[in-house]
Amino acid sequence: MLRGATSAYPAMAQQVQLPEVSWAPCEALLRNSQHMHGQERPEVRVLALVYALGGLLCLVSARWPLTAQSPVALMAALGGTGLVVAVAVLLVGRRWPVGVVHVGFVVLSALVALAAAASVTAVGVVGLGPMLIAGCLYAAQSFSAAAARAYGVCLLAMATAGAVLSTADGLVLPWVVVLVTAVVVLEVHGRMVRTLRDTAALDPLTGVANRRAWLAAAERDLAQARRSGRPYTVVVIDLDGFKAVNDSRGHAAGDALLRELSASWSRQLRRGDLLGRLGGDEFVLSLPGTSEVQAGALVERLREVHAMAWSAGMASSDGSARIEVLLARADGRLYAQKRAGAGTHERSRVDQIQDH
């Protein structure tokens, strides 16, 4: 996200490609959203919808059984359980830790397996197909690619085990069709969701978090720091003399510099840190569990990865300040540093690069 200077900007503009795709910003944003409590959590609402769908399917099976041997009582019990759980998830699910939501999906898989095992006809077993598809849609929508596949495997394996235990005949081919459909839905929907999530959350030039996504994630990091009592620091970074790079070398070289710097900086960050681009040549770091002293050490390490000159200001949470206040403090320190002429020793290095 920051621009990296090289020894020959024209060549760099032609040769530097988009940096290697890093999922760290997406993972950090997803991690933050999954650990929030008491806020909007779409995955909880969708889980409630899936439970409600399963409950309704079971109640329909109980009300209009396919044969006299159909387990009407069991289907009615499963249907009632599904609806009760759906209501409970809607009412209190937002306050659940993410682990409870995961357990809820595993329980859902077990209930589907039980319904499949109790079915006495192939139509009854295959009729659970909408539940499998709904479960796969939920997993693809709510979890990372690896987690969604793991939960998809869990759901389909448990449902298949239930189908094997069923006494229904002529089940193999239609059940294979259901499984293949569910897998395709899981993969296709997952790719679409991740693409849309990246488009909404990432800066298109540098691949780091955009302003909106970074602010949302930083608010969550700050709230978590307040609850845990751990330190939290933000760092605002502004490139020195970037306009001169654009004016003398062209915007393509400036864009390449931003991509190179953002990639270099991202490699120095921990898994929980989040780098964002506020706009232009201004960037920001969210550093949970990091004191101002530790953030200062990180800033010095970042200075060593590239010759481009830049100034930085930081601010740590005092337990009450909002993220906007911390950003204002860090911004004030940044421009105080610029006025004091800090970074001059770095500028000389950039001059040498540009003169090369």
Domains of the chain: 33-201 (no CATH), 205-355 (3.30.70.270)
Task: Give the pLDDT of residue 53.
Answer: 87
Section 18-38 average pLDDT: 44
Q: Where are the alpha helices (DSSP H) in the chain?
A: 9-15, 24-34, 42-63, 72-92, 98-118, 122-126, 129-142, 145-165, 172-201, 211-228, 242-249, 251-266, 292-304, 323-339, 344-355
Least confident segment among 28-37, 228-237, 262-271: 28-37
What is the percent of the chain with per-residue pLDDT over 70, rounded to a whole number?
84
- Looking at the chain, the whole-number percentage of residues with pLDDT higher than 90 is 38
* The pLDDT value given to residue 28: 52
Q: Output 222 or 70, whichever has higher pLDDT.
A: 222
Mean pLDDT value across residues 238-256: 89
* Average pLDDT of span 37-52: 73
Give me the pLDDT at residue 353, please.
38
Give the mean model confidence (pLDDT) for residues 189-214: 88
- pTM: predicted TM-score of the whole model, two decimal places: 0.61
Give tens-digit pLDDT for 119-161.
Answer: 888 888 888 888 899 889 989 988 888 999 999 999 999 999 9
Token pair listed for 139 = 């997993």
Buried b / exposed e along 287-304 (16+ C-beta atoms within 10 A): bbbbeeeebeebbeebee
Active site residues: 281
Q: What is the pLDDT of residue 113?
A: 92
